[in-house]
Chain A
């Protein structure tokens, strides 16, 4: 029986809503008005344990309480109810870089970050070579952090954390930054860390990484623990639930893109991804046709400015916000929307050539070159592959997009014949 590192019992955290007490509110209270602030439970009645040498994955939607849970465990904030017994020091992997000071050199920052992890200078010196080597930063050691690339900074932060990690490590979406090669190296490094007997809590939206890295997993939904158990089962159930909840997205209140503070017309109303039959889906099989459907509308009280000759632009982004493809409606097919009316813009994407994984759809409406509205996340979907059985998918490796390719193989008599000169001579 290995050592239990974290024991959480009925853990709960209540957050207050709204702003803090102000002078006006004090005055109100003096006049006898009762003033109650609304509150909500960010986390409630969560019980689990994590052992040494184990990776516990945490999945759930945004706002499910994942980050709150990590904050309670690392001691940054205190639980409202319940308790968490933590045996050993906790370090947060992502946030080590938070202490990086732009004016200090890489070397100085390494020592500072290590001190925040609770390491003494001599402990850091002993591992300095490994840290620097892993991050590939030998030549950058005496460069101020402000002149390092973002990638280099995150590599350094991760390296410090991995090499000097204490008994318990919490990882919150750390792999969202960096390319896939970096992600793979991070995963290897974390595996090594766990094999040395550390306990790791791993939060990620990338279910693939959770599946490959974690031993057990828990699924949080609106602050409650839905399921805890073996990683494959929990992630499988979570996936199934996600598939069912595929719905049309209401965009009227969605976050807008473009310059902050500039009001857009809020033309985009609804967004969804459909399969070949036209029904709304969350998961799309690899290589099957798909459709993005957007509802564009104008309010009754909108200024009576004619809006025709509109161009609709749809883009697909990966989960780590890399744009894969953009399609715009052609000039000979324009959209018009009258006041108090709406229209549906659909674009059929012939065959999903995207590699399996999670994607988001961004949508924008233009009039000429003027951007009238933009929604960075108008719909979400996941491409599911046929698995290892489909050679085309496995062959894609890190590529995100497949294109039509015709291969031909010709066998020839000898190697000499393959050179153009030899062929001419023949």
Chain B
């Protein structure tokens, strides 16, 4: 299966390129959306969470910086997971008619969120510079944290994409699972991984939390919690192996059931 994916890298590239170009065709703002979205959410979040709910008193950085370093990775995760998991079903015509690496087809759904992330990073770096925080080194750490998040999302998305060809329920479940997940992650407010509560524990098992916190530390120029990041990476890598295994199990009959 993996050898097949390598052989199909040219196709993966073309399919990814197709997704990216098609997305911004006949659109006035084009990639500008990747700038507008995080900026507006940042403003809204700053008002609701930072000012009205008083989260800004519990953190030691400006809330807009906190919000943008939470929302940009989260939006990336969200878009990647949806793109990756629904790509096989959306292209079911291809799955049932032509044979080629299905893993490549599923993964081509990851391209446009990646482009969006790259553009959104401009906003992140802009906000970072505005507050005079961070450094080039910090940006590199943040980028590496997004690498971990990419592994996390691949692990989950690959398994989900195969499961979706069998059961469409996943599509019903996904939005609300993602919503719950966001509230369990330090996106809008901080979660202390060394606290007493159950939520502190969940942070260690939640690779999204580890990646977001590493991303945030890098951008804000704060010391990185390597242990937490390491745990996130380990969970993701194990998850990736499981995800690929699930995919290979379901791939065989995919064309018959999709």
A121 contacts partner chain B, Cβ-Cβ < 8 Å: yes
B58 CB within 8 Å of chain A: no
Contact (Cβ within 8 A) A77 B255: yes
In the complex, A249 has a CB within 8 A of chain B: no
Contact of B255 among A71, A99, A111 (CB under 8 A): A71
Binds A, one of B10-18, B130-138, B196-204: B10-18
Q: How far is the CA of A120 from the CA of B26 in the complex (A)?
A: 28
How far, in angstroms, from A76 to B95 measured CA to CA in the complex? 7
* Interface residue tally for chain B (C-beta within 8 Å): 24
Q: How far is the CB of B25 from chain A (nearest CB, A)?
A: 5
Q: A75-B99, A116-B100 are in contact. Are A104 and B21 (CB under 8 A)?
A: yes
Determine the residue in chain B with the shortest Cβ distance to A89. B99
Contact partners of B18 in chain A: CB under 8 A = 101, 104, 108, 112
Asked if A15 lies at the interface with its beta carbon under 8 angstroms from chain B, I say yes
Q: Which residues of chain B have C-beta atoms less than 8 A from A77's C-beta?
A: 253, 255-256
- Cross-chain contact A115 with B14 (CB below 8 angstroms): yes
- Across the two chains, which residue of chain B brings its CB closest to A90? B99
In angstroms, Cα B98 to Cα A95, docked, is 7
A115 to B11, CA, bound (A): 6
Interface size class of A (residues with CB under 8 A): 20 to 34
Partner of B22, one of A104, A111, A121: A104
Q: Does A360 belong to the interface (CB within 8 Å)?
A: no
Contact call B97/A98, Cβ cutoff below 8 A: yes
Q: Which of B22, B167, B253, B255 contacts A103 (CB 8 A)?
A: B22
What's the minimum C-beta distance from A230 to chain B, rounded to whole angstroms?
30
Given A98-B93, A116-B98, A116-B100, A78 and B253 touching (CB < 8 A)?
Answer: yes
The reply to whether the CB of A262 lies closer than 8 angstroms to some CB of chain B is no
A285 interface residue per 8 A CB criterion? no
CB-defined contacts of B238 to chain A, threshold 8 Å: none
Q: Smallest CB–CB gap between A145 and chain B, Å?
A: 11
**In the complex, which residues 78-98 of chain B have their Cβ closer than 8 Å to any Cβ of chain A?**
93-98
For the complex, is B166 an interface residue (Cβ under 8 Å from A)? Answer: yes
State whether B96 touches A76 (Cβ < 8 A). yes
Q: Which residue of B lies closest to A13 (CB)?
A: B256
Rounded to whole angstroms, the CA-CA distance of A120 and B13 in the bound complex is: 11
**Of B10, B14, B99, B256, most A-chain CB atoms within 10 Å:** B99
Residue B53 at the chain A interface, CB threshold 8 Å: no
User: A113 CA to B26 CA in the complex, in Å?
Assistant: 22
A15 engages B256 (CB within 8 Å): yes
Tell me, yes or no, whether B60 is within 8 Å of chain A by CB.
no
Q: Is the C-beta of A289 less than 8 angstroms from some C-beta in chain B? A: no
Bound Cα distance from A120 to B255, whole angstroms: 25
Q: Within the assembled complex, what's the spacing in Å between the Cα atoms of A113 and B253? A: 24
CB-CB under 8 A from B11, the residues of chain A are: 115-116, 118
> B166, B167, B252, B256 — which one has the most chain A CB atoms within 10 A of its CB?
B256
Q: Does B257 contact A (CB under 8 A)?
A: yes
Q: Is A74 an interface residue (CB 8 A)?
A: yes
> What 10 pairs across the A-B complex have the smallest Cβ distances?
A95-B97, A75-B99, A115-B14, A77-B255, A103-B22, A76-B255, A115-B11, A98-B93, A76-B99, A103-B25
B residues touching A (Cβ–Cβ < 8 Å)? 10-11, 14-15, 18, 21-22, 25-26, 93-100, 166-167, 252-253, 255-257
A residues in contact (CB < 8 Å) with B: 15, 20, 71, 74-78, 90-92, 94-96, 98-99, 101, 103-104, 108, 111-112, 115-116, 118, 120-121, 144
Could you jot down 26 A-B contacts, CB within 8 Å? A71-B96, A75-B99, A76-B96, A76-B97, A76-B98, A76-B99, A77-B256, A78-B253, A91-B98, A95-B98, A96-B98, A98-B94, A98-B97, A101-B18, A103-B22, A103-B25, A104-B21, A111-B14, A112-B14, A112-B15, A115-B10, A115-B11, A116-B98, A116-B100, A118-B11, A144-B25
Q: A76-B95, A94-B97, A115-B15 are in contact. List 12 more A-B contacts (CB 8 A).
A: A77-B253, A78-B253, A92-B97, A92-B98, A95-B97, A103-B22, A108-B18, A115-B10, A116-B11, A116-B98, A118-B100, A144-B25
